[in-house]
A = this chain, B = another copy of it.
Amino acid sequence: MSFYKHHVFMCLNKRAAPENCCACHGSEAMQAYAKKRIKELGLNGHGKIRINQSGCLDRCEEGPVMVVYPEEVWYTYVDEHDIDEIIEEHLVKGKVVDRLRI
């Protein structure tokens, strides 16, 4: 069994303007939101889901970005609605959210 069924890494890297960065697009608040929602849903923990912060994932121009392993699906997102859809469709039901995939 996997240590985590879905292991999510969300880039929280900050770069100074005019460079693009995930933190410039609110990734810190979205990572906190995702972590809170997974906990509220009782989905956090070993064998289940982990929402991690990471350093720069080097896809800055497509950001903000996250990657879900081990299935290796990359997403971008704008707001809590997008995060909810990734949680409800992908992390809960196992259905990749094509409209947010990069």
Residue picked from A55, A56, A59, most chain B C-beta under 10 Å: A55
Q: Which of A51-90 contact B (CB under 8 A)?
A: 52-59, 67, 69-72, 74
Q: Are B53 and A7 in contact (CB under 8 A)?
A: no
Minimum CB distance partner of A45 in chain B: B58
Copies in the complex: 2
- A interface, by DSSP: helix, strand, loop or mixed? loop
- Identify the A interface with B (CB < 8 A): 2-3, 7, 9, 46, 50, 52-59, 67, 69-72, 74
| Chain B neighbourhood of A7, CB < 8 A | 67, 69
| Chain B neighbourhood of A53, CB < 8 A | 54-55
Q: Are B46 and A50 in contact (CB under 8 A)?
A: no
